[in-house]
Structure 1
Amino acid sequence: MKKINLYTHKKILVLGLAKSGVSAALLLHKLGAFVTVNDYKPLSENPEAQGLLEQGIKVICGEHPIELLEEGFELIVKNPGIPYHNPMIEGAMKRGIPVITEVELASQISEAPFIAITGTNGKTTTTTLIYEILNAGHKSPLIAGNIGTVASEVAQAAKVHNQIVIELSSFQLMGTPSFRPRIAILTNLYDAHLDYHGTRLEYVKAKANITKNQTSDDFFIVNAEQADVMNIARGSKAQIVPFSAVRELSSGAYIKDDWVIFNGEQIMKRSDIRLPGSHNLENILSAVAAAKLSGVNNEAIYQVLNTFTGVKHRLQFIDEVDGRMFYNDSKATNILATKNALAAFDKPIILLAGGLDRGNEFDELIPSFTNVKAIITFGQTAKKLEDVATKTGIKTIRRVDNVGKAVPLAYQLSEPGDVILLSPACASWDQYKTFEVRGDIFIEAVHMLK
């Protein structure tokens, strides 16, 4: 960990706890700052805040009092989930108080370089693949961010010989004024989180922050098939490394004659890759590019890609039961993710779908229903999905109360050779706290069949 005096004797407010807030507060305290933590959850129900209090850190819980901003804070470290239209954040910005996220702190103290991954879809799979490949190649990677340990905790332990592989959301990237990854990856851009950002333009601008501080010594791996991504690339000072799953490129990562190619070099046969789905091919190509730029040999890349079958809840193969293949894609919380999942299979599919109603319709799914022989719906969007299935001509349409009941019904409706796919196309919050909880219930129900 780098020894910095940037925050010594500075008054800093950590707004919102969870894991990142706790880590930020403890780190700033260690760095000599005068830290105040403000969290909305009452102290009596807040073990994280109680723990910080025991460390001698000032804690204010149960509300976000706007008058707190009059105490002369020089910086606010914001939980990424708190939107910028929150009165506390708006008040801070009016007063000229800088607002950052915990990732910025991590980058300031880290001795290790970062490989940072963002995008609308594919972040977690790409991050996991890069970590696994670097690990197989003995490159001493550490994993951080949304799918690992909090970034500032990892950064404190990281040494010069490590590489921190980090998945970053648009929420995190909005608070990173100096964050500079050695390798940045932008997987793709689609409409997402517009309730947080307000407009697509603001969302895209947030994602572009991943490369804003890169220099000509750094690398920016980008999806060559997306105009918005390439527009961001044109404004980057980094060395641009494109990837494409649909055409040959003059440089970067692509497919040619069933080979994965990087800068003209044959890496491995596409047919030897275990992970299903054409959308995952883009994730694989970006991971291969990051691995090669990090000096990993082809044997390590082959070892991982020939055995890796997916991240939990992301088109994850669960089991085969009496010839039926069960896949958990609970992370498919939007239509595009479900379209990608459906495109990954050429066998008959029984689709389990439904969840939170955000006001959208599902007609976009119609072209993807070619192999869907039956659909089982649940949640607030059940009726909308049933209407789309009817339009498509799907004959077997059933509704159940929840995912747990959908699994045995899907088994009854299926035949050997069928794929039974949980890919909800919706968020889980109408019935489940997280998509992980929803996926775990699916997995348990599959195991109960055996």
Structure 2
Amino acid sequence: MKKGAGFSVRGKRAVVAGAARSGIGAAMLLARRGASVTLSDVREEIEDAGELETAGVTVELGGHTQATFAAADLIVLSPGVPAHQPVIARAREAGIPVIGELELASRWLAGRVIAITGTKGKSTTTTLTGRMLESGGHKVLVGGNIGLALSAQVDESTAETIHVVETSSFQLEGTQTFHPWVAVLLNFSPDHLDRHATVEEYAAAKARIFANQSASDWAVLNADDPGSVALAAHAPSRRLLFSMTAGLADGVVLEGDTIVRRSGENREPLVPLSSVRLIGRHLIADVMAAAAVASIVGVPARAMTATVEGFTGLEHALEPVTEIAGVRFVNDSKATNIEAARRAIESFGTGVVVILGGRYKGGD
């Protein structure tokens, strides 16, 4: 059956909870697909209210009201809205379908999906993967947890499109039929325990990236991270492991100064380490993951290398800022969990002064 066949919202009452980027994308998509849409948010005002109302979306601000949710035929959650909120829990108990924005959008995509998750490194790997595939001549749309919400990509999706999607645990926990052709789990460590009740609940959300895969799909996994490999234990998909330290007979490894894909007796050089312009050895693992995906897609090694040579990293991710009186300043404010911060600090030698802040989300 063609993806999305049989799923229609025409004439249905749809409520979207949360008016951030993903919620707005979902509301606009639902309106274009013929639903009667209400976008609900706890804030008293939102910047996009006028545009939404012009598109036919009813904007309800100041809180999620029981009457609105109880009257819905479908409820779609933005990633930032916890599914255990009382008004949402009561709707689910009443038999009203509740799904996430990622799930909604994926039902209408015509192209294949490469989904990338992990506790750290998602944005770097997603961006680099998208650029490698573009360099290899593929039609690519990058988004999800970065850039455009997946809902905003649906109208551009064709059978030739490859969607490279960064997926968070908040997005994955709201999926039911989401089916990546390639699912990448970079690493796993405790995080977001201010949202997930337990580490096990967080792990279960991450593992949903593999839930609907088949034997013709791929799981790309970090062999140096046993926790992430364990989460894919029951996935029926083919495996492609990558490792910075293990001598894998089959997988993507480091051989001297080159990232190489091994397959039995075959050896394919992919990217020389001399082309990497990123600070921090741990980011080599992200490059390896992107190269692993690109090799599955069939991107030539020269296109991978050219992409890596031109990639100097993302804003706020070990981003060089300036040097004053011999002191180098580096911005790694994207490291919002303990493991990511630890890896960043370990990227430098002695004499490092760390400026930390933010909200504790659990972990040791």
TM-score when normalising by structure 2: 0.92
Number of corresponding residues: 358
Matched with 2:203 is: 204
| Largest Rg, 1 or 2 | 1
C-alpha distance 49-4 of structure 1, shift in aligned 2 (>3 A): farther
Contiguous gaps of at least 5 residues in structure 2: none
**Distance in 1 between the 2:293 and 2:25 partners?**
28
1:65 paired residue number: 65
How far apart are residue 32 of structure 1 and its match? 1.6
Alpha-carbon distance in structure 2 between the residues aligned to 1:32 and 1:255: 51
Alignment correspondent of 1:300: 303
* Mapped partners of 2:102, 2:136: distance in 1: 26
* TM-aligned CA distance change 1:116 to 1:64, over 3 Å: same
SS at match of 1:241: strand
**Which structure 2 residues correspond to residues 189-200 of structure 1 after superposition, within 5 A?**
189-200=188-199
Which residue in the other structure is 2:232 paired with?
233
Q: How does 1:64-83 map to 2 (within 5 A)?
A: 64-71=64-71, 73-83=72-82
Alignment of 1:108-119 (within 5 A): 108-119=107-118
CA distance in 2, matches of 1:311, 1:136: 18
Contact 2:336 2:358 in 1 (8 A): no
Please give the secondary structure, in 1, of the residue aligned with 2:242.
strand
Does the CA contact (< 8 Å) of 1:185 and 1:221 recur in 2? yes
Q: Secondary structure at the match of 1:63?
A: coil
Give distance in 1, aligned partners of 2:164 and 2:362: 34
CA deviations on 1:59-90 (whole Å, 9 max, x unpaired) are 3221212233332x222101111112211221
Counterpart of 1:162 in structure 2 is 161
Q: What are the Cα deviations for residues 78-114 of structure 1, in whole angstroms up to 9, with x where unaligned? A: 1111112211221122212221111112211111111
**Unmatched 5+ residue regions in structure 1?**
365-450
Indicate the residue corresponding to 2:289 in structure 1.
286
Q: Residue 25 of structure 1: SS of its match in structure 2?
A: helix
Shift of residue 4, structure 1, vs aligned partner: 6.4
* C-alpha displacement of 1:202: 0.5
Report deviation, 1:280. 0.7
Could you tell me how far apart the structure 2 residues matched to 1:135 and 1:154 are? 16
Give me the CA root mean square deviation. Answer: 2.2
- Residue 143 of structure 2 aligns to a residue whose secondary structure is strand
Cα distance in 1 for partners of 2:57, 2:212 equals 33
Name which of structure 1's ranges 73-82 and 227-236 shifts more when overlaid on structure 2.
227-236
Match in the other structure for 2:43: 41
CA distance in structure 2 between the partners assigned to 1:357 and 1:218 by the alignment: 37
The answer to which structure has the higher helix fraction is: 1
> Please, what TM-score do these two structures have when normalized by structure 1?
0.75
> Per the alignment, in what secondary structure is the counterpart of residue 241 of structure 2?
strand
Report the identity percentage: 37
Alpha-carbon spacing, 1:245–1:98, altered in 2? closer, same or farther (3 Å): same
After superposition, the C-alpha distances for 1:34-80 in whole angstroms (9 at most, x for unaligned) are 222222222xx224233322333333221212233332x22210111
CA-to-aligned-CA distance 1:392-416 (integer Å, 9 cap, x gap): xxxxxxxxxxxxxxxxxxxxxxxxx
- The 1-side partners of 2:140 and 2:69 are apart by 39
For the pair 1:262 / 2:261, whether they are aligned, the reply is yes
Would you identify which runs of 4 or more consecutive aligned residues in structure 1 move more than 6 Å? 1-4
